[in-house]
Chain A
């Protein structure tokens, strides 16, 4: 087995094993790199590009780029914050997002990221595309108006559920999440307990009947901004390191 190595994120030395991506190594070190399509249980997709960093001066997606020994990675800089802000704003302009009327509000990663990045008013014209809603399934609905095409459902259904309920059709701005039937979600073998259902970062795939079980105010991002769980894991990691010899490699679980 090859040796682990060190590289630097914003000047902080970070350990990585060969083949590890920048994002995974950062995550393990308690450094938060903003992202949307990345999910710890899934193969990286490199779609949202919100995790763009600069490695040795060149921009790349932290979720797909393997870390390199001694490389210098820029994560939290003015230029990168501006790019990420623009990307998140573009996602808002592209889809039809009405946070105040969305049952995912407060638990939505897109919304939470917008708050954390300081997005206030839209800079880009909304496209107001007509998108399909499919509520045919008894337990799950898909609202493509809120979809950000992150492929989490596609990957989860394929790789975690072993089902291939979702895929993509069309290209360019016409790309959409499609379901594995000639028309409706109810004709697929999707089950409400599938990982693909809960893994959606936004309100595009929604479990029916539980929308307001957790009241507004008590939701995932109502108390602390997105990413703070990763960063506080860092604090815990540091204090753990102070108290125990060698320290424990705390696994960072960021699900609720």
Chain B
């Protein structure tokens, strides 16, 4: 007998062509409709799609937004990233816990609410923030938390929580969100007025090789953080004699503290899509995918409408911009809560319906990427730059920045500053001047490039934002003089432990070991030798991990050991001869004392 539930799950599979590559979409749809993917649903999906059930289970267990346990009708995901903690996350959390009567991770007895915590949701400049199902709510307080629970209990509709619409396209009928852009410092390149179709018409008037040359002449480097030359990446993919080829836009910005791509997608979506189209023309791709992080699902209808409008205008589809034989279209793939999927090879695994485990390189995606075909993966901001280069020409683009780092960089600034938000600055600007712009002059430290970047102290504030000095994907989290910096280092280390895929030993087993040592130091039980142990272990993890996540996971600890050594020194002590500082005699004796019920003795 087929239950109605089971036949509905089967229908969902069939709506996605029962295609294993669409497994993540199928899982998302089942999760959304049934609030969970039961063991029975896993069996049904496996049978319908034709993969082993363990493959489906592997996928479901990988993504934070998927669960086997049934969740409430409404899931409240509280962001507990560092900027949220600075802004009062704990009192907001306690208010939710109290109002709902369930702990974090719990579901109310009536099955209406689930309360969860989540990593950065791209709203650091309006923290504390949360997602209520897919609806972002920002600037939370304990009062607002109680109000949200009360209001949802009445009407059960997360959309009704939005009372005041945000600025710009956040108020668009297809978005209607309370999210604000906080565009504090729009620069000349990315946020300049956009004339739809201009860049593409210019591109198709050139040969693909000329387009690549223009991007090379502009010295464009990838904006996701690694800074690989974009023109070179395209050329690699172009040179491979294979068909099909793919262009993928990496809109999975998950680096804690980063939210620039959200604002670009909201305000300059067409420029992003145009960049993908130009890349397709350059490498000879007919299919593109925009991989949108699950946290930004509220932007999906709007982005779909932008794609549709471009199809109507002849800017997507067949014979784009009147160029016979240039056919290209884009679909949007939703993510489901996994930081590691921002790594390009993991993103491709995820796109193929697998767990988002990174892959070995070589082969590089430009040779063998999505469906083993040549694939270019570019960041949202990079693609906007591409469009701008075609609009204005490489020379104008290079007027900004430094010789090694041409153009501007979009920064997401949050934390202890007066004007958190988005800043488009020319490459080469010293960090000190960035802090002045944002009203963060009193900072004691700044996390540059998110946790995978570098925690810099005041002695490094004259360093410049560019690829050959302080390279960054764009996240800057500012910390005032009263902050406990090692607790921040600890929070970022926990983030990496949680978000690692678990494939390789150094990251999976090494990061918890680093965290242990750090906690020992924080508790005042560390010795100087523990700091050396941290450095050695960190170096081992950095050098032996398989992917960029593992290789950068020790950075919060390693960079703070360099830049903020005094924080560590102040908490480490030399043990008495023959003793270990980490050994706690009282704690060790406690179990033995508990048996006869003796009180702790004074040592």
Interface residue ranges, A against B (CB under 8 Å): 44, 46-50, 52, 59, 61, 64, 66, 82-83, 86-87, 90-91, 93-94, 123-125, 127, 148-149, 164-175, 178-182
* Interface residue B546 (Cβ < 8 Å from any Cβ of A): yes
In the complex, the answer to whether B505 meets A169 with C-beta atoms within 8 Å is no
Nearest Cβ on chain B to A221's Cβ, whole angstroms = 21
Residue of A at shortest CB range from B501? Answer: A171
> Known contacts A149-B502, A168-B58: does B546 contact A61 (CB below 8 Å)?
yes
> Known contacts A168-B502, A170-B61, A182-B53: does B516 contact A86 (CB below 8 Å)?
no
* Interface residue B463 (Cβ < 8 Å from any Cβ of A): no
In the complex, the answer to whether A182 meets B42 with C-beta atoms within 8 Å is yes
* Interface residue B52 (Cβ < 8 Å from any Cβ of A): yes
CA distance A86 to B510 in the complex (A): 9
Question: 30 A-B contacts, Cβ less than 8 Å apart?
Answer: A46-B503, A46-B504, A47-B503, A48-B505, A49-B544, A49-B545, A61-B360, A82-B536, A91-B509, A94-B508, A94-B509, A124-B516, A167-B52, A167-B57, A168-B58, A168-B355, A169-B54, A169-B61, A169-B62, A171-B62, A171-B340, A171-B501, A172-B502, A173-B497, A173-B500, A173-B508, A175-B502, A178-B54, A178-B61, A180-B54
Q: Which residues of A contact B506 (CB under 8 A)?
A: 49, 87, 90
CA distance A164 to B509 in the complex (A): 26
Q: Which residues of B contact A82 (CB under 8 A)?
A: 536, 540
Q: Contact check: which of A90, A164, A172, A180 meets B505 at CB < 8 Å?
A: A90
Residues of B506-520 at the interface with A, using a CB-CB cut-off of 8 Å, are 506, 508-510, 512-513, 516
In the complex, the answer to whether B544 meets A172 with C-beta atoms within 8 Å is no
CA distance A41 to B360 in the complex (A): 19
CA distance A30 to B55 in the complex (A): 38
Q: Which residues of A contact B39 (CB under 8 A)?
A: 182
> What 18 new A-B contacts, CB under 8 Å, besides A48-B504, A49-B545, A127-B512?
A48-B505, A49-B506, A66-B362, A86-B510, A91-B505, A125-B516, A164-B52, A167-B52, A168-B355, A171-B61, A171-B338, A171-B355, A171-B502, A172-B502, A172-B508, A173-B500, A178-B54, A182-B43
Residue of B at shortest CB range from A86? Answer: B540
Q: Contact check: which of A83, A148, A178, A182 meets B543 at CB < 8 Å?
A: A83
Lowest 3 CB-CB distances: which A-B pairs, in order? A175-B502, A167-B54, A90-B509
* Interface residue B537 (Cβ < 8 Å from any Cβ of A): yes
Residue of B at shortest CB range from A85? Answer: B540
Nearest Cβ on chain B to A171's Cβ, whole angstroms = 5
Q: How large is the interface on B (under 10, 10 to 19, 20 to 34, 35 or more residues)?
A: 35 or more
In the complex, the answer to whether A125 meets B543 with C-beta atoms within 8 Å is no
CA distance A171 to B513 in the complex (A): 17
Residues of B529-552 at the interface with A, using a CB-CB cut-off of 8 Å, are 533, 536-537, 540, 543-546
Q: Which residues of B contact A172 (CB under 8 A)?
A: 497-502, 508
Q: Which residues of B contact A149 (CB under 8 A)?
A: 502-503, 508
In the complex, the answer to whether A175 meets B508 with C-beta atoms within 8 Å is yes
In the complex, the answer to whether B502 meets A173 with C-beta atoms within 8 Å is yes
CA distance A149 to B510 in the complex (A): 14
CA distance A245 to B54 in the complex (A): 52
Residue of A at shortest CB range from B338? Answer: A171
In the complex, the answer to whether A171 meets B500 with C-beta atoms within 8 Å is yes
Cβ proximity bits B51-67 to A, threshold 8 Å, 1 near / 0 not: 01111011001100000
Q: Which residues of A contact B533 (CB under 8 A)?
A: 123
Residue of B at shortest CB range from A125? Answer: B516
CA distance A125 to B530 in the complex (A): 13
CA distance A125 to B498 in the complex (A): 19
In the complex, the answer to whether A181 meets B540 with C-beta atoms within 8 Å is no
Q: Which residues of A contact B546 (CB under 8 A)?
A: 46-47, 49, 61
Residue of A at shortest CB range from B516? Answer: A125
CA distance A10 to B497 in the complex (A): 35
Q: Which residues of A contact B505 (CB under 8 A)?
A: 47-50, 87, 90-91, 94, 148
CA distance A254 to B505 in the complex (A): 24
Q: Which residues of B contact A175 (CB under 8 A)?
A: 501-503, 508
- Indicate the member of B58, B500, B536, B544 with the most A CB atoms within 10 Å: B544
CA distance A167 to B360 in the complex (A): 19
> Known contacts A83-B544, A90-B513: does B502 contact A46 (CB below 8 Å)?
no
Q: Contact check: which of B52, B62, B516, B540 meets A180 at CB < 8 Å?
A: B52
> Known contacts A86-B540, A178-B57: does B512 contact A170 (CB below 8 Å)?
no
Residues of B13-55 at the interface with A, using a CB-CB cut-off of 8 Å, are 39, 42-43, 52-55
Nearest Cβ on chain A to B254's Cβ, whole angstroms = 14
In the complex, the answer to whether B55 meets A49 with C-beta atoms within 8 Å is no
CA distance A31 to B540 in the complex (A): 23
